[in-house]
Amino acid sequence: MIWKKIRGFFGETEDAPADAEPPADAEPEPEAEPSPSTPDAKLLALAEGPLPDPALVLELVDAIVHAGRPARALEGLRVVLDRFAENDPARTRLVVRAAELLSSRGDDAAADVLLGPLVARLDAPLGATMLAAEIAERGGDTTRALGLYEKVIARDLDFPRARERIERLRELASSAREGLAGMTLATEGALTRGRYRVESELGRGGAGTVFAAFDQRLDRRVALKVYHGRGPVERERLLVEGKVPAALEHPGVVRILDLDPPLGAIAMELCAGGSVRRELARGVLGAARARQWMTTTLDAVAFVHDAGFVHRDLKPSNFLLRSDDRVVLTDFGLALERGRTQNARVGEGTLQYMPPEQRANAPAEASMDVHALGVVLRELIDALGADAPAEWRELSAACLRREPRARPSIAELRAVI
Q: Mind listing the pLDDT tens digit for each residue in 159-199?
A: 877 877 787 777 666 555 444 444 444 443 445 556 788 88
Higher pLDDT, 53 or 163: 53
Q: For residue 146, what are the contacts with CB-CB under 8 A and spacing of at least 6? A: 133, 166, 169, 170, 173
Q: What is the mean pLDDT of residues 8-24?
A: 40
Convert the pLDDT of each residue in 197-212 to its tens digit: 888 888 777 678 888 8
Residues 265 and 139: their CA atoms lie apart, in Å, by 24
Q: According to the model, what pLDDT value does residue 187 have?
A: 41
66 or 27, greater pLDDT? 66
Q: What is the pTM of this model?
A: 0.60
- pLDDT tens across 97-120, in order? 999 888 887 788 888 888 988 888
The SS3 assignment for 256 reads: strand
Q: Which residue has the higher pLDDT, 11 or 333?
A: 333
Cα distance between residue 260 and residue 256, in whole Å: 12
- Residue 202: the pLDDT is 85
Give CA–CA dist 331/271, Å, rounded. Answer: 13
Q: Nearest to residue 255, comparing CAs of 239, 244, 264, 263?
A: 244
Q: Which residues of 12-43 are buried (b: 16+ CB within 10 A; e: fewer)?
A: ebebbeeeeebeeebbbeeeeebeeebbbebb
Please, what is the average pLDDT of the chain?
Answer: 81
pLDDT (mean) for 35-50: 81
Side chain identity at residue 263, one-letter code: L
What are the residues whose beta carbons fall under 8 Å from the beta carbon of 255, sequence distance 6 or more? 245, 268, 269
pLDDT score recorded for residue 14: 39
Alpha carbon distance 331, 56 (integer Å) = 39
Q: How far apart are CA 192 and CA 186, in angstroms?
A: 5
pLDDT digits 0-9 by tens, 385-417: 889 998 999 999 999 999 999 999 999 999 998
Taking alpha carbons only, the member of 224, 217, 220, 219 closest to residue 241 is 224
Domains of the chain in sequence order: 23-173 (1.25.40.10), 196-269 (3.30.200.20), 276-416 (1.10.510.10)
Q: What are the tens digits of pLDDT across the range 255-302?
A: 999 888 877 889 999 998 889 998 988 886 899 999 999 999 999 999
pLDDT per residue over 212-223, tens digit each?
A: 888 888 889 999
pLDDT of residue 35: 57
Rounded to whole angstroms, the Cα distance separating 247 from 181 reads 31
> Interior CA angle at 323 toward 320 and 324, to 5°?
100
* Highest mean pLDDT: which range of 6-15, 34-43, 185-194: 34-43
pLDDT of residue 22: 43
Q: What is the pLDDT of residue 193?
A: 53
Looking at residue 201, what is its pLDDT? 81
Q: Determine the pLDDT at residue 238.
A: 86
* Strand pairing category for 265-269 and 220-227: antiparallel
Asked whether 407 and 371 are in contact (CB, 8 A), the reply is yes
Residue 18 has pLDDT above 60, yes or no: no
152 falls in which pLDDT band (50, 70, 90)?
confident
Return the pLDDT at 142: 81
Which residues fall within 8 angstroms of residue 344, CB to CB, at 6 or more apart?
361
Interatomic CA distance for residues 38 and 336, integer angstroms = 38
Cα(46)–Cα(242) distance, rounded to whole angstroms? Answer: 52
Question: What SS3 class is residue 290?
Answer: helix
Question: How many CA within 13 A on the CB side of residue 157?
Answer: 0
CB 299 within 8 Å of CB 333: no
Least confident of 50-64, 68-82, 335-349: 335-349
Q: What percent of the chain has pLDDT over 70?
A: 83
Residue whose C-alpha is closest to residue 413's, from 279, 300, 277: 300
Tell me the pLDDT tens digit for each residue of 304-337: 999 999 999 999 999 999 989 999 999 998 999 9
What percent of the chain has pLDDT above 90? 32
Taking the C-alpha atoms of residue 325 and residue 293, their distance in angstroms, rounded to an integer, is 7
At residue 1, the pLDDT reads 52
